[in-house]
Amino acid sequence: MSVDANGWRSFDKTLKFTGDKGEFNNFLFSSRLWLEDTLYNSIIRMRDYDINGFIPVLDSMINVMLGRREQYERDSKDWNSSLNNITVESGDFIKIGSYAIYGFNCSMQESTESATKLIKNLLPDLNYKNSALSSHPECLEGLDAAFEILIEKNEFKNPESRFVDKIRLIDHYIEPPVFKRNIAVHQLENYIFNNPWNSGILQQLEKVSSNDLYQILASRSSNYRLFGEGLDAPEFELFDSLGTKYKLSDFAEQFLYIDVWASYCGPCLKEVPFFEGLKHEFAGLNIEFISISLDRKEGDWKKCIQKYGMTGNQLIAKNDWSSDFARNYYINSFEIPYYLLISPDGKIVKIQAPKPSEAEEFLRTLLQ
């Protein structure tokens, strides 16, 4: 893999994967960038369109992208049928999420209302049979945007009410049990890791969801609440490049800003220059910066540290995603990079803390 890491503006354009699967990964990365950049910006530019003018243009753009995926599937030896099912069949979820983004941003109230009505009509007919889609980012993002616009009519709803309302909508619109469970658990994780929990939430969920779904959410919430803001951070055992073991208790009496990453993660590497900058900016203050790798191969981790000039506390969780660290900190529930802040007394201050490129003001306020 090669990249110009001198600035985030050039990162996405210069990131290139090499090796046996290089061309394949470059294609997937470019497809993802298209969704995050080209498609979103196009939707914003079309905010003055009425919905009848917007939908044909947007659908055409997405169909072209899906056509490229199908062509690549036919031509590439690295593609496989299961991956094709996920990436091509996600098209309808991309569309419904795009309709919701349009509804949020369009300049005409009647278009917002039309987008909301359209989404209500489309949601029951999406492909919920392929359960693999329920963990795919394009599916999760599309459904989340769709559910958001359906509850947006009351813009003053607090996070708790919005979460409960999303579970109600999931139970109403999604029938296949596996798909329904996965999407609902995803919403539960997002809520718990970003908001305080109270017993009243379960009472509300019992009222708005079926018994089967409620039992799943009640069970999962009891597990996740062992890990949350204000609670003790789980102890960990990690290793540096020389094999020296480090525990959480070794960093007591200072704030810890933790970066969980891997050498194959483009967005992780994009934040490296900013993470290094924070170390210099806050040197001498009561905060320690720790990078924790989830690389499977220690050689890849060590090469990346050297290549990008990563300094300070560079640790690795042996057994990568199956490690005690990943399990105890619920890293499997997030995409990396993942940032976490722990207080001097070992309490979790912030789950999904601001990324380094956006963290300076947050950390400065914390340390005042």
Question: What is the structure's pLDDT at 153?
Answer: 57
Question: What is the structure's pLDDT at 163?
Answer: 93
The whole-angstrom separation of Cα 321 and Cα 262 is 11
230 is a domain residue: no
Which residue among 176, 196, 224 closes a domain?
224
Residue 8, pLDDT above cutoff 50: no
Q: Are residues 219 and 252 in the same domain?
A: no
354 is a domain residue: yes
Which residue among 199, 224, 249 closes a domain?
224
232 is a domain residue: no
Q: Are residues 53 and 195 in the same domain?
A: yes
Lowest mean pLDDT among 90-104, 110-124, 209-223, 318-332: 318-332
Q: Are residues 178 and 97 in the same domain?
A: yes
229 is a domain residue: no
Lowest mean pLDDT among 102-111, 229-238, 276-285, 304-313: 102-111
Q: Are residues 39 and 139 in the same domain?
A: yes
Q: Are residues 330 and 206 in the same domain?
A: no
1 is a domain residue: no
Residue 78, pLDDT above cutoff 60: no
Rounded to 5 degrees, φ, ψ at 256 are -120, 125
Which residue among 224, 249, 282 closes a domain?
224
Mean pLDDT of 133-140: 82
Q: Are residues 71 and 220 in the same domain?
A: yes
pLDDT > 70: what percent of the chain? 81
Q: Are residues 262 and 209 in the same domain?
A: no
2 is a domain residue: no
Question: What is the structure's pLDDT at 331?
Answer: 79
Q: Are residues 241 and 299 in the same domain?
A: yes
Residue 273, pLDDT above cutoff 90: yes
pLDDT > 90: what percent of the chain? 40
**Range of 146's domain?**
8-224
Residue 303, pLDDT above cutoff 80: yes
Question: What is the structure's pLDDT at 27?
Answer: 60
Strand order across the 338-342 sheet: 245-247, 237-239, 313-316, 287-293, 255-261, 338-342, 348-351
Average pLDDT value for the chain: 83
Task: Tell me how many domains the chain contains.
Answer: 2
pTM of the model: 0.59
91 is a domain residue: yes
Higher pLDDT, 60 or 35: 60
Q: Are residues 148 and 247 in the same domain?
A: no
